[in-house]
Amino acid sequence: MQVVFIHGPAAAGKYTVGKELAELTGLPLFHNHLTVDTVGALFDFGTPGFVELREEIWISAFRIAAEQGKSFIFTFNPERTVEPTLIVRLDALVRKTGGKVHFVELTCPDAEILKRIDSAQRRQFQKLTDGELYQKFKADGGFEYPALLEPIITLDTSQMSPQEAAAAIQKALEAL
């Protein structure tokens, strides 16, 4: 059982690259906003109820998938409303059943993020689409998060297409 854990800042292309990777590998894409949007129907982003329910869904998804040997791709935007030890706990849940989490880091310069942030695709998932709000949240430390586990590959998505990024990730996975 394997989890391809794609992480990076808002508008770095996690969903788009994840979708391309899903097509290449046949693995299902468990996009972060499937949970965020579901939980957001009940609780405002960042409130205690939101944080608790989002965490419970992620933990349950990782645990049950690991127990059943179901590999998948997961996207994640590190930010301060996520409990700092959660990612290590998710990794441990998978390893406990003999599985492996492969971390993939996407990077993207702020100038490119600001060009991408207000897109139709991002609005579809109720993602952050306001460039000024993104800059304020970042300046206020909203995206500060402890370093995640060592990635198998780091890609600057401003330097390649989503298809090229997905192919690079597939190649890195095959080399393991």
- 140, 153 in Cβ contact below 8 A? no
Domains of the chain: 2-174 (3.40.50.300)
The predicted-structure confidence for 77-116, as pLDDT tens digits, reads as follows: 989 999 999 999 999 999 999 999 999 999 999 898 888 8
- pTM for the predicted model, two decimal places: 0.91
Integer angstrom CA distances of residue 90 from 18, 24, 112, 158 = 19, 25, 30, 29
